[in-house]
Amino acid sequence: MEKSLWIRCNNCGKILYKQDIIDNLYVCPACNFHYRLTAIQRLNYLFDKNSWKIIDEEIQPTDPLNFKDSKPYKQRIEESRNKTSLSEAVINVMGTIDGIPVIMSIMDFSFIGGSMGSVVGERITRAIERAGKEKKPLIILSCSGGARMQEGVLSLMQLAKTSAALSRLDELKVPYISVLCDPTTGGVTASFAMLGDINIAEPYALIGFAGPRVIEQTIKEKLPKNFQRAEFLLQHGLLDDVVPRKNLREYLIRALRLLLNQPK
């Protein structure tokens, strides 16, 4: 968003006072459109104040395939780091939500499209394993275009790795809530994002396996309205609920209390 005090909503076109959108967690007060948040913004409104700590930052990306398309992969990583001040497309956080200790992974789309390579896979796996070891509920906020092409088949194998870790967490009976944000597609949807004990999404989030453009090109017809949007998935039985951002913290607290058998 620009520096001026006023801003036009990309969705409904209304001119709005910028601070109103910010105060509303980047949701348009006029049309309820949910703008994308950074991982840090999500962390700040979900955790209890001063309760959290970012962990697993020692896991850092490299360039296993020596990949270079229009620019070298290493340069892409460097540019994303400077742009986002993140070290990769996911942060792991431990802290409390309404006093309940949790482990949370939060993805950030602005880091190479939130794509999952070796680091994202490893950090997510560590979050899952830590949740199991410390018996703390796991929450993952997904926001990703899918597996990272620049790490080739190693990225694909992160689907297997994270899902296998979740099977162990499942056996340990530690709750896992998956929150799908706009967009969650490809390999992230086809692994941990769809494996929550509870799967919920932000309103109008694009969620799917294949991207809508690929589907359109394959079937050569226009896609139905709202196709692959959160509400569409809810209607097709693929989500437990669609939860507006301003209710998400409350929803998580309620779900955690129920799953942990901890009434208020």
Least distance to other proteins, CB of residue 91, Å: 15
Residues of this chain that interact with other proteins (CB under 8 A) are 58-62, 64-65, 67-70, 117-119, 121-122, 125, 147-149, 151-161, 163-168, 170-171, 186-187, 189-195, 207-211, 214-215, 218-219, 223-224, 227-228, 236-238
Residue 124 vs residues 12, 90, 94, 130, 141: alpha-carbon distances, Å:
36, 8, 13, 10, 11
- Interface with Zn ion (CB under 5 A), residue from 9, 55, 100, 149: 9
* Matching residue, tokens 């309620």: 254
| DSSP 8-state code for residue 229 | B
Nearest CB to other proteins, comparing residues 28 and 122: 122
- Residue 31 is a binding residue for Zn ion (CB under 5 A): yes
Work out what residue 140 binds among other proteins, Zn ion, none; the CB cut-off runs from 5 to 8 Å by kind. none
- How far, in whole angstroms, is CA 49 from its chain's centroid? 21
Residue 30 makes contact with Zn ion by CB under 5 A: yes
Main-chain phi, psi angles of 117, to 5 degrees: -110, -155
Unique residue bearing structure tokens 């196709």: 227
Q: Which amino acid is at 194?
A: M
| Rg of the chain in Å (alpha carbons) | 18
In the shown chain, the binding pattern of residues 10 to 29 toward Zn ion, with x for contact by CB under 5 A and - for none, equals -xx---------------x-
When CB distances are held under 5 to 8 angstroms depending on the partner's kind, the choice from other proteins, Zn ion, none that residue 115 binds is none
Q: Where are the alpha helices (DSSP H) in 141-211?
A: 152-172, 186-189
Residues near Zn ion (CB under 5 A) are: 9, 11-12, 28, 30-31, 33
